[in-house]
Amino acid sequence: MAQVNYISPDGTVTTIDARDGDSVMETAVKNGVKGIIAECGGACACATCHVYVDDDFAAIVGGPGDLEDDMLDGTAAERCSNSRLSCQIKMCAEYDGLTVKIAPKQV
């Protein structure tokens, strides 16, 4: 079981125990963390689960794949170097303590 910390645009921090293999998006949505919409349910098809990965984890989590990279060009909030679609980050023990900032605008 690894924990994820979500920082909402208003600064609220929510910590959730993630099920191994669930994505950072799924973990948020199933537990009612607001601000991650994820209309497509994790198919990398809607770009509404945009997060900024905390610096401490940027190297461990890595960057986006090609399709995700293209989708990130269409996000509603500004794309930064640490932007990811949270449906594409699968939780594992190695990511315990991962902190992500939820993008201020998804649609």
Partner 1 sequence: MAEQVLIVGAGQAGMQVAVSLRELNYKGEITIVGEEPYAPYQRPPLSKAFLAGEADIESLEFRSPDFYSANDIKVVIGEKITDVAISGGKGVAHGSNGRVHNFDRLVIAPGSAPRRLTIAGSELDGVLYLRSIADAEALKARWAEAKNVVVVGGGFIGLEVAAQATKAGKRATVLEAADRLIARAVSPLTSEYLRSAHERRGASVRLSASIESFEGSNGRVSGVRLVDGEVIPADIVMVGIGVMARGELAEKLGLETSNGAIVVNEFAETSNPTVLAAGDAVLLPHPLGFGNQVRLESVQNAVDQAKVVASTIAGEREPYHAVPWFWSDQADIKLQIAGLSTGFDQTVLRGNPDDDKFSVLYYRDGKLLAIDAVNDPSDYMAVRRALGAGAQIDPRAAADSAVALKNLIISSDA
Q: Which residues bind partner 1 (CB under 8 A)?
A: 19, 21-22, 26, 29-32, 34, 39-47, 67, 70-71, 73-74
The C-alpha atoms of residue 28 and residue 24 are separated, in whole angstroms, by 6
Other Cβ atoms within 10 Å of 2 Cβ, number:
18
Closest separation in Å from C-beta 87 to partner 1: 12
Q: How far is the CB of 71 from partner 1 (least distance, A)?
A: 4
Give dist(CA 67, CA 29) in Å, integer: 22
- CB closer to partner 1 out of 39 and 56: 39
